[in-house]
């Protein structure tokens, strides 16, 4: 190939690869296979090897490259990167709205147009594009001067090296947040631990730590992502509205947060806040609030800024999911399989809207690594429904009070020996009859998602076990009223109530029973899988490891755990006794085989019905509801104010239904099944 042809072909390849990168990383809708992509990439690399002068800075081959740096250079931001004023209550948000209206000389009852978007808990950065080519990227730093992390930012796949489109501005500074997804963060920390390195305290630290790496190969190995949400300097491009800017960013190839909402008037902002708050825990990344921005750029300009923050924007924060408090004691709890868990008893503190007085320390290795001691001030983190955990000691210098924590040699509850199995971090109490284990097994069996025995509180379980009335879960069904009235706080009425509840729990499903048995690795979902594959507990008991593994979702570890459970004579006897108490096991509800089997639905915009109800309808016919639109989506059900998901569906040619059409479809599906 002569140089002219090589140059032309390289240009084509770069365009093509950039296009597929965008489809894959930003739109989540690849059109070609990985192998096809690799072929394009290889061809480009070969051309560039023969003609090194044809390499351009925006070439996809340049994402990772260069020798390790020795330090980061300084970058002065052409326009300072501001921070935001915070609000913690609806009143403060309404006051902000009132200030905005006064500033704009609007009537008190006027409605300002706002855009409300998630406040991503990551790291603010600025990207400079000259004639559409990425030339420089920097951290926020102190707002005036940041660090030059250009080579590191090149490795972030959701940051375009060249803007898409033909009309490219002479200069565009795009600002936004580099962040780490929660699941990827958990993977990273697992790998860090395996490599004997200290884990990161939270996804934000992981993002900052991964970006600020002198060796870009390390950054490239970390799945960092980027959302664009603000602008610095610009030449040859201007916007009238924030929303218009976000749309242009999207068209240029950036990821713009799909949850950004247009809100006419502050009360709609409050609604958007509540909706976002509800979604908080289910989002794949951490957010710590909502950013409210005046949509009209002319209004932003008139409002101007204070010394460090704009008057036209506000961060409406969620309650933090982290808090500092003091460790009063370190207790050791015994779980239903005998695993010993060190738990910090902490001075009660509110974390993410819940008062917390206990936080897990996981295991001996973790306590050693974090070196948590009684009297220490610690940071406690609560993510989702997960048990709060001690993240780290905040004042490691003020040590010297408590002793180093060490796991007891005997079970703190029954005094039996403790074993530590090789390759496992856990210490275990060897006594299956340990009262702590028995109590936990009963609590688990009776819990809402297992056999759902009402009126059986922790205190009652404790007394039943301590008095020897109940030694295993089958004993619950032999309880007599005379025994119950002997218990503290029990009268005739409460005894009758509990007995009735125990009786009622006999009507159950196979998956509830399986879940309740507390087999290792068999949680609610796995129990359902098993219950769909086998007709009875006896059939599972009779299944070999191979039989079990024939079930699609069952892997070797799970199969072995199930087998191990039923190989234990005491467990088999327990199952025999449960069979005799007269359980009425209803056939498993089978969503599989429904008319919507295998079909993925995405709901967007405001629907008349509740999202949970819509989701339940789809699932009742074997379908699946997802949060994001991709090439795999069968239908998008669009309500009012449907935004970017609808756009994406149109782009991808996904079928779009109104709510009425959706209900019609479900009705037909029900009729046919
Ligand atoms: S706008 C003038 N939008 O919050 C506007 N910031 O306290 C400046 N942040 O340093 C920022 N998500 O790191 C904006 N959607 C969003 C944001 C966001 C997260 C962070 C950003 C900034 C801090 C402001």
pLDDT in tens, 209-235: 999 998 888 898 899 999 999 999 999
For 155-209, what is each residue's pLDDT tens digit?
A: 999 999 999 998 999 999 999 999 999 888 888 877 776 666 767 878 888 999 9
Q: Is 276 in the pocket of ligand 1 (CB under 6 A)?
A: no
DSSP-assigned beta bridge partners for residue 178: 123, 226
Percentage of residues of the chain with pLDDT beyond 70: 96
Residue 673 has pLDDT above 60, yes or no: no
Min mean pLDDT across 104-108, 359-363, 517-521, 619-623 is at 619-623
Task: Give the model's pLDDT for residue 196.
Answer: 64
For 38-50, what is each residue's pLDDT tens digit?
A: 899 999 999 999 9
Pairing of strands 313-317, 287-294: antiparallel
Report CA(346)–ligand 1 centroid distance (Å): 33
For 524-557, what is each residue's pLDDT tens digit?
A: 878 988 998 898 999 999 999 999 988 877 888 8
Task: Give the model's pLDDT for residue 101.
Answer: 97
Report CA(124)–ligand 1 centroid distance (Å): 7
- Match 């980061």 to its residue by tokens: 72
Kindly give the number of the ligand 1 atom that is closest to the alpha carbon of 117: 15
Average pLDDT, the chain: 90
Q: Is 242 in the pocket of ligand 1 (CB under 6 A)?
A: no
Pocket test for ligand 1, best of 118, 230, 295 (most atoms within 8 A of CB): 230
Q: Is 391 in the pocket of ligand 1 (CB under 6 A)?
A: no
CA distance 276 to 292: 12
| Nearest CA-CA partner of 473 in 333, 577, 580 | 577
Task: Give the model's pLDDT for residue 627.
Answer: 84
Tell me how far CA of residue 632 lies from CA of 367, 604, 653, in angstroms: 44, 16, 11
All domains of the chain, ordered by start, with CATH? 3-62 (1.10.287.610), 87-317 (3.30.470.30), 322-420 (2.40.50.140), 435-505 (1.10.150.20), 509-586 (1.10.150.20), 600-672 (3.40.50.10190)
Pocket test for ligand 1, best of 256, 291, 301 (most atoms within 8 A of CB): 291
Catalytic residues: 119
Contact 408, 351 (CB under 8 A): no
Q: Is 140 in the pocket of ligand 1 (CB under 6 A)?
A: yes
Residue 59, Ramachandran bin (φ over 0: left; ψ between -120 and 50: alpha; else beta): beta
Q: Is 124 in the pocket of ligand 1 (CB under 6 A)?
A: yes
Tell me how far CA of residue 53 lies from CA of 3, 57, 129, 150, in angstroms: 10, 11, 22, 21
Q: Is 177 in the pocket of ligand 1 (CB under 6 A)?
A: yes
CA distance 134 to 126: 11
Average the pLDDT over 132-157 and give the result: 94
Average the pLDDT over 411-437 and give the result: 90
Residue 398 has pLDDT above 70, yes or no: no
- Match 């856990």 to its residue by tokens: 426
Indicate the pLDDT class of residue 399, thresholds 50, 70 and 90: low
| 585-602: b (≥16 Cβ within 10 Å) or e | beebeebeebbbeebbbb
Residue 644, Cβ neighbours under 10 Å: how many?
Answer: 17
Report CA(179)–ligand 1 centroid distance (Å): 12
Nearest CA to ligand 1 atom 12: 119
In 297-414, beta strands by DSSP E: 313-317, 322-334, 339-351, 354-360, 377-381, 389-393
Min mean pLDDT across 41-45, 92-96, 480-484, 626-630 is at 626-630
Report CA(568)–ligand 1 centroid distance (Å): 57
Q: Residue 144: exposed, middle, or buried by beta-carbon count in 10 A (0-12, 13-18, 19+)?
A: exposed
Q: Is 654 in the pocket of ligand 1 (CB under 6 A)?
A: no
């Amino acid at each position: 190939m002569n140089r002219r042809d090589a140059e032309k072909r390289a240009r084509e390849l770069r365009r093509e690869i950039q296009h597929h990168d965008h489809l894959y990383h930003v739109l989540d809708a690849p059109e070609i296979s990985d192998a096809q992509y690799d072929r394009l990439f290889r061809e480009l690399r070969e051309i560039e090897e023969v003609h090194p002068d044809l390499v351009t800075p925006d070439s996809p081959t340049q994402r990772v490259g260069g020798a390790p740096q020795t330090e980061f250079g300084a970058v002065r931001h052409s326009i300072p990167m501001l921070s935001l004023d915070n609000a913690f209550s609806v009143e403060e948000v309404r006051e902000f709205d009132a200030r905005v209206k006064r500033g704009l000389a609007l009537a008190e009852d006027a409605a300002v147009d706002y855009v409300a978007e998630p406040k991503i808990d990551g790291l603010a950065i600025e990207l400079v594009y000259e004639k559409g080519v990425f030339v420089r990227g920097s951290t926020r730093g102190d707002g005036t001067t940041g660090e030059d992390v250009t080579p590191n930012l090149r490795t972030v796949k959701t940051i375009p090296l060249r803007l898409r489109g033909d009309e490219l501005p002479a200069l565009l500074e795009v600002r936004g947040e580099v962040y780490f997804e929660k699941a990827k963060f958990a993977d990273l920390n697992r790998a860090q631990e395996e490599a004997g390195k200290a884990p990161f305290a939270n996804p934000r630290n992981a993002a900052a730590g991964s970006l600020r790496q002198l060796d870009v190969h390390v950054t490239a190995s970390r799945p960092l992502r980027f959302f664009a949400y603000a602008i610095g300097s610009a030449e040859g491009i201007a916007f009238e509205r924030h929303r218009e800017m976000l749309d242009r960013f999207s068209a240029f190839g950036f990821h713009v947060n799909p949850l950004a909402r247009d809100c006419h008037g502050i009360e709609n902002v409050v609604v958007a806040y509540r909706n976002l708050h509800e979604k908080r825990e289910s989002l794949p990344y951490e957010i710590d609030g909502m950013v409210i921005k005046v949509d009209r750029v002319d209004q932003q300009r008139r409002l101007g800024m204070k010394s460090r923050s704009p008057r036209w924007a506000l961060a409406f924060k969620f309650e933090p999911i982290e808090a500092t408090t003091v460790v009063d004691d370190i207790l050791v709890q015994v779980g239903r399989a005998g695993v010993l868990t060190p738990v910090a008893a902490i001075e009660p503190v509110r974390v993410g809207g819940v008062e917390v007085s206990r936080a897990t320390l996981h295991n001996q290795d973790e306590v050693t690594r974090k070196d948590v001691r009684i009297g220490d001030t610690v940071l406690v983190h609560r993510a989702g429904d997960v048990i709060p955990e001690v993240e780290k000691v905040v004042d490691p210098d003020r040590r010297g009070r408590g002793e180093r924590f060490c796991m007891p040699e005997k079970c703190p509850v029954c005094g039996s020996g403790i074993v530590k199995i090789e390759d496992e971090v856990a210490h275990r109490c060897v006594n299956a009859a340990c009262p702590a284990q028995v109590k936990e097994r009963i609590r688990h069996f009776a819990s809402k998602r297992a056999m759902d025995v009402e009126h059986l509180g922790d205190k009652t379980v404790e007394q039943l076990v301590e008095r020897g009335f109940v030694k295993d879960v089958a004993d619950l069904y032999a309880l007599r009223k005379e025994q119950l009235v002997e218990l503290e706080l029990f009268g005739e009425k409460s005894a009758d109530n509990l007995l009735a509840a125990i009786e009622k729990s006999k009507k159950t499903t196979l998956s509830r029973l399986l879940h309740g048995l507390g087999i290792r690795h068999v949680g609610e979902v796995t129990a359902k899988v098993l219950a769909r594959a086998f007709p009875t507990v006896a059939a599972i008991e009779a299944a070999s490891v191979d039989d079990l593994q024939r079930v699609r979702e069952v892997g070797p570890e799970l199969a072995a755990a199930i087998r191990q459970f039923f190989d234990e004579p005491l467990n088999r006897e327990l199952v025999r006794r449960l069979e005799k108490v007269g359980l009425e096991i209803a056939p498993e509800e089978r969503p599989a085989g429904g008319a919507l089997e295998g079909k993925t639905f995405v709901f967007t915009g405001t629907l008349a019905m509740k999202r949970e109800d819509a989701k339940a309808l789809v699932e009742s016919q074997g379908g699946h509801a997802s949060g994001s639109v991709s090439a795999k989506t069968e239908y998008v059900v669009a309500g009012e104010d449907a935004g970017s998901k609808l756009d994406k569906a149109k782009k991808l040619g996904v079928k779009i239904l109104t709510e009425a059409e959706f209900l019609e479809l479900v009705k037909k599906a029900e009729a046919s099944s």
